[in-house]
Amino acid sequence: MHTVLERDQTKARELAKTDREGVSLRTIEHKRQRYHQGLAGLVDGRYEGAGGPSGRVDPHVLAALFKAIEESMERSTRTASYFYWKVGQLVADRPDVRMPSRATFCRLFDRLSRGRHVTGSARTRRSLASRPDGEFSQATANRPGEWMEIDSTPVDILVVFDDGVVGRVELTGMVDLATRTVAAGMLRPATKSVDAALLLARTVTPRSRCVQAGSRPLSMARSVLLYERLLKLDERLEHAAARPVIAPETIV
């Protein structure tokens, strides 16, 4: 009894009463046509084929840009216009490849070169390029000794060395990642590679809870620190010598 056009007009007037801005007849026709397409009509065509940072740029252009960026790591600093020219030269022998516009290329270049200082400081760019991959990755340990870390940090306290010289020392420790246990530690004026071997030896050597009679001068009670007061503030100091033995499997 009513044509499709009449039904579209009726629906447009109905929506105009509920929507402040109204819906045009053309919008109703467009939505009805997409509805008859089924599931494919629900797909937003504006984002079709535009996934990823490269958008609709030809893959050969993208590969050429990656190559040009990698080659520039050890060279002098260039501008984005140079890379546009360089990529054009790399794909010139492929007539089926179409270069994007300069504005599109600049946006793509900014996304791919972000954080690499391609057009910035040459020293910073070379430093980032020589950095090993995975240096700051997250490690997970499930058992004691599976992953142990050695690190040194300067201690901002002046100490008197054996030769009477006053200076600062470095604290070097080995920490078990799974249990957060400080397996061994030492203070040195300057940490050397041999200290890592000493840390390993201390880690796998059992240590009794109490100081032996022959090592009485090395006990905490003979130090200049306020041992009695520290012991009252933190009872864990009483068991500081009861260090567990952890056999390292991986040391970084």
Helix (H, G, I), strand (E, B) or coil at 74: coil
The reported pTM is 0.39
Which among 171, 178, 173 has a CA at the least distance from the CA of 196? 173
* Residues 33-80: tens digit of each pLDDT: 888 888 777 777 666 555 555 667 888 898 899 899 888 888 888 898
Helix (H, G, I), strand (E, B) or coil at 68: helix
pLDDT band for 209, please (50, 70, 90 cuts).
very low
> Distances from the Cα of 46 to the Cαs of 43, 49, 58, 64, 106, in angstroms?
9, 9, 18, 27, 21
- What does the pLDDT read at residue 243? 62
Give the pLDDT mean for 93-104: 88
Helix (H, G, I), strand (E, B) or coil at 166: strand
Q: Which two tokens stand for residue 234?
A: 């933190």
Q: Which two tokens stand for residue 183?
A: 């397996």
Which among 180, 238, 241 has a CA at the least distance from the CA of 205? 241
CA dihedral 226, 229, 235, 237 (to 10 degrees): 0
* Residues 109-145: tens digit of each pLDDT: 888 888 788 888 888 888 877 776 655 567 788 888 8
Q: What is the mean pLDDT of the chain?
A: 80
Helix (H, G, I), strand (E, B) or coil at 11: helix
Give the pLDDT mean for 200-229: 61
| CA atoms within 13 Å, Cβ hemisphere of 208 | 6
* Residues 168-182: tens digit of each pLDDT: 889 999 999 888 888
Which among 153, 159, 162, 208 has a CA at the least distance from the CA of 185? 153
pLDDT band for 244, please (50, 70, 90 cuts).
low
Q: Provide the CA 214 distance to its chain's centre, in angstroms.
A: 50
